[in-house]
Structure 1
Amino acid sequence: MLRSLFLILVPPSLSQCRYALGMEDGTIPDSDITASSAWSDSTEAKHGRLSKGEGDGAWCPAGAVFPSASEYLQVDLRSLHFLALVGTQGRHADGHGREFARSYRLRYSRDGRTWITWKDRWGQEVVSGNENTYDVVLKDLGPPIVARYVRFYPLADRVMSVCLRVELYGCLWNDGLLMYTAPVGHVMHLSGSPVYLNDSTYDGSIESGVQFGGLGQLFDGVLGGNDFTETKELRVWPGYDYLGWSREALGQGSVDIEFHFEKTRSFHTMQVHSNNHHTQGVRVFSKVECQFKPGLLLPWSSPPLSLAVPLEDLKDPSSRPISLPLGGRPAQILRCQFAFADRWMLISEISFFSGTHLSFTSCTSLSSPCSSHPPLFHSSPFCLPVAKDDSSNTAILIGCLVGIILLLLAVIAVILWRQYWKKILGKVKEEGFQHDFQNGYHYMSHPLSQLFHPSLHSSIPPFTTSSLLSLPPACGMDLEKGLPPTQEEPPPYPDAPPYPALSPPFPASVPHYAEADIVSLQGVSGNNTYAVPALTSPSPTAADCTPLPELPRHCLVFKEKLGEGQFGEVHLCEIESPQDLPNLEFPFNVRKGRPLLVAVKILRPDASKNARNDFLKEGKILSRLKDPNIISLLGVCVSSDPLCMVTEYMESGDLNQYLSHRVLLDKTGPTHNTPTISYPALIAMASQIASGMKFLSSLNFVHRDLATRNCLRPIKIADFGMSRNLYAGDYYRIQGRAVLPIRWMAWECILMGKFTTASDVWAFGVTLWEMLSVCQEQPYSNLTDEQVIDNAGEFFRDHGRQVYLSRPDVCPQGLYDLMLSCWNRDCKLRPSFAHIHSFLTEDAMNMV
């Protein structure tokens, strides 16, 4: 039976929604941080990041905040977010700062036009701030905020200078609800005491007894208890957790509530948390009638959906969630009438299970169990049956029979293929060697130990693992040059792993560099080589054969040595006045008078002629890489010795060092004195890595050494990892001839020397595992190097004994499925970087 797979979007829970949204770790870009004014360039809005000290240490407004209170720092989150917590800090500036805000106001907006002043549960607008310049003060937002834009207005009780650094904590508002309209709540009198059942946190307007244009307690994630006179908040009035209506006071037999969403959705279930304290005349509603409007300018769909609520067990006074199936109807606006069953109706929370249609698939193919009624605040996909048409039973029957026949044929084909493959493997086992399908050479059970043996080296193609890139030629080459014949590809492998492939297979034309007819170039920054398909004559129309920008050598000021390789070194240098160098084509964002840090690859003056030629070729190749997530070549110094290449350098260092000194921010919020990183921040950085690799793969470039050590912050894919002693333990040395990052390498790289975009995808899966493990251990840390090589052999034999990296604690199953697909035995079934980037951008954030 075919079923539909939907992405389920439900409201976040307060307890699950306390992740840092990216001020501190840079996920929120500078362009999304603005302010009413700034004291100077070094205290402008982008410096208002919590726990950061760039510039002069914080955002400081130009104007006084007393008594006008009109200066603000604004953060644009790009989409609606559920905000549960904010953090503030003053300007410390390594002990020189003296400015902080003792209090502040918050204003927020969902559309950038209507601004709302946040008030706490007791109606207070002013939030207590900082008492010194260095401590972080966290403020729980009760009630929480649903907004895209947030403004901080620092306050002062006298004329004084203030500065501010901030962070926002929450998660994406996947529910998509913009506002709801409902009658105002009423007051119940019990034994002479009033019980206020109004929507006290509603942030819209009220007119003629109706509240509209806002959100409030029906969507704050807090469920009321059995006794509505008791509340979960201290110092609030009885009835606070519920919005309630009296049939007599309302003057009608139902309560009408209208819900407006950002865009049209398919609504499957509405869950209403209702009170049933029947001894006080309170009962759950008896019936619901809902109308659906697919768009703002479209008419209401007909007929309306009428749902009766089962009335059994109403003697139980417990509050309860009532699940109402909505049948997958599309709507942007819903209007529901809740019919009274007694004198009073009290509702604490309403949530919708809705989504966008993704694809048709068999329910049994999902990695998670299917359920037609998922639990509250759970966002795993669930299966809904396709609506049946009684007039088309014959067509359905024929379709089912055809499907069964095709399934049987597929099973027969798989059985025959398995038998054929077992024969092949048996023959290989009897002969005592493994065969390289790509190149036709043979090696024994430990291929790595033999691959660089002098007696074999001349008979195999160069086996290389550059920390740089395997690149096609710079200009006008025939991309078919250097590619192995199509028939030399290994046959497709049977018995794919049980996890689903997450994207279409790679096309058969994906080039496999470093396999045939290549030119080997020796990288400066590592004891290794990398390969480029054979160069042809430059095309006369090639537009990218431009001279490399020559930089004056005297502008480079040495700072420290970063690493060294067989033929050169990598130095950290400064360019004192980068704006004065017209040859620098890279768009710098450097304040006037500030130096620019760069990495300089230097070829030793005594290097051979071949090494010099390789250095110049490498520069021309790297000059083609223009992408925001790839380290860029800024220029060269080749008019005299020593030859130099100047590349970008990120002051924040590499991703491995950054993450290894942090802990994952859990659901209880940040921990003092320990740097933290949030799940959304990790996914955002992984998405940037995938974006950079998507660019490289679009040019058929192969990186060969993708890992967190080769990603700089903010995210730029680099190539310095192999040259640094810090990461010597990440590489396996083979008889002194090469060092290989075997723990990041696909099995075909280890056994066959076959490097492709698909093997880069494998390495990306390991890199993503590193990130979600916060770089606390090496991949396969429980295995020796020899056992890692043996495990590659298990992937080749495919007897089910291969070992995968285990799922990190913070990693959702859907994201782990993506990793497993990156480690698919058949390279053609691994996802493309375009698919990985799309998945991380659109889906992974919703898995928390």
Structure 2
Amino acid sequence: MTSDSSTAAHCRYPLGMEDGRIKDHDITASSQWYETTGPQYARLNREEGDGAWCPAGLLQPSDTQYLQVDLGQLTFLTVVGTQGRYARNSGKEFARMYRLNYSHDGQLWRSWKNRLGNKVRKRGANDNAYVSVIKDLHPPIISRYIRLIPVTKMPTTVCMRLELYGCPWHDGLTSYSSPEGQVMMPPGYPIASLNDSTYDGAHERGKLSGGLGQLTDGVTGQDDFLVTRQYHVWPGYDYVGWRNGSLGSGYVEMEFVFDKQRNFTSMKVHSNNMFYRGVKIFSSVSCSFKPRLIANWETEPVEFRTVLDDRNPSARYVTVPLGRRNAKALRCRFHFADVWMMFSEISFQSGRMGMTTPSTKDQPDDGNTPILIGCLVTIILLLVVIIFLILWCQYVCKVLEKAPRRILEEEVTVRLSSSSDTIILQTPPVPPRVSQMDHPYERVFLLDPQYQDPAGLRNKLPELSRSCTPHQCFQSSVPHYAETDIVSLQGVTGSNMYAVPALTVDSLTRKDISVAEFPRHRLLFREKLGEGQFGEVHLCEAEGLPEFLGEGAPLPDRDGRPVLVAVKQLRADATNNARNDFLKEIKIMSRLNDPNIIQLLCVCVSSDPLCMVTEYMDNGDLNMFLSQREMESTLTHANNIPAVSLSDLLHMSVQISSGMRYLASLNFVHRDLATRNCLLDRRLTIKIADFGMSRNLYSSDYYRIQGRAVLPIRWMAWESILLGKFTTASDVWAFGVTLWEIFTLCKEQPYSLLSDEQVIENTGEFFRNQGRQVSDFSYLIYSFIHLYTGGKNI
């Protein structure tokens, strides 16, 4: 789980107290005053019964009365909302303070503490009987069972209503064990305490065991480990770190226990890499597996060697492939690459367990073979009938779904909600909206949909306006960044997929959408790939997609595995402009058909949330792929380091050139071409996409301008930065920068020695052509123009 600052900033969906998804039998209490003040009436903003849950009698300061909620599964809990008993203006009871206890199994209970060690929430409770108080949990809780315990300083009557916010904990991790973090005392710098300060398990003899802590709180540390994302904490708070040699070995051993046996595909470890202070990512890791807690560790571990980076000090996620091994517990040994090793987050990706066939030697033989055969034949016949009925129903549904649907033009207000739809991609599912009496599913804090005017970029170069006349430089009112330009560049999901002239977009009609409506209940959520201003990008399994698309569909050979797709989803709280932009993007992408452009497979637009389903590439993006490799040589083969050859890089470049040439032939402008937006499959086929801006991993590649607008300035031509002008020629510039990335194996950013402000100032030097450029990018870029344009002048 990743985000700009914290997973908790996005994982804040109501879990079902208010709308009834949490059932009455899942809400219990230590006591109740009357039948009409039982725990089932402790629902936020509801007035059933006598309006709230009230424990029996006056609550004493020494009492421990609790309201307990069973969430049904492990949940990442980030926000708690409370109210008192209003009871239609007849109630006046509320709690000024409360505590939280939680449990994974309902047996072992732990007390929640904030990041400063306090258990009682004094500022997070109520001061009247009617206003709901919604407060974040710092740190969040990973649990299935939650107990809310009201606290008072004097005998009083207390009543409460409650809502919990968060999302399912898909990792399934219930505890990890590791050595305690240590203290770093660098000369000339503040002392950094790198302990796991929120760990809720046991601390014995320098080891942590049986709990969870900062490595699963959703907060990723910054590039400088002394800088923290939390307030009023000590330097180094966001990281857990160890010194090489202090543990008696050259590695840190950690054990991870899960809720059930899982099929593990990968592990992601967020590591610090401030090498000039003696901190690096781990050099290698070895992971052993245990199928059951009482079993022995398997003898064949999975080993992975990282590619160390001594040029880019940025913190990063390191993805460790786990080879689809089945286990309930893992033991990983992370080997030091320098003096210190620091982690801020560890997460796991796992899939369904493989089916195992029992040996025939273990089957009983009691002489009843004819009876068993008869039962098996009967069961098989029943299964055949059931399968036939299922296939028939699917065929009928497919025929009905292919019936033509009427889609209104963008100028008309678009209504795409359905009272009978169940949202699958949002987690947890959203209840249907049927009347004003139902409470809609909504985010706790809506994101501001408006962008501020980014015209302040012009002030970065105050001398620019003095170097020429307005007519010569900007032609009256130019340069400026029009609001529509910036919004278009930001895009619905935090990125921009092909800018086209407005007339071209407005002229599109329903016949331009050549993809069909896919049943959204057949999209199974697997992982969030990224998030932007108005939407999200998910990795999903699409059940029955090859059959749905028919022959000739652009799907890879999955060898019997589920089809993975990328799903761009518009948030329910998006603005009308964002919805219209999303529909325009669907229409545009449905027209694109090139082997080097990511292809739109199908859509889900008959109800909210609007979704577009595109191809997913197994090898991820080109930036990550190349940054983990070296140029092919004898040394790389000897050290088992993944390598690429010069011919591989040329092949990649030609494919990107081909895809961009196709877009140029349609007069489409991409605006954000870079290796982060080029995806690869297992055969190293490249397809150009637009997911880069929505991913936190590449947030440093974008420059933020006075508000929420962001620009990839290190890939932009001077006229795009200074004049707001995006054309095929500016895409050629970005193509040249992308080639530079490829042939340097993405080891550093363009202009890596310059700050963002210096990059913009250097752009002014390009504009004035005074020969004081600090980089000779232009010579490299123009040398590749002929490759892209076939020798045409631009």
**TM-score of the two chains, using structure 1 as the length reference:** 0.44
Structure with the larger RCO, 1 or 2 (CA within 8 Å, 6+ apart): 1
Which structure has the greater CA radius of gyration? 1
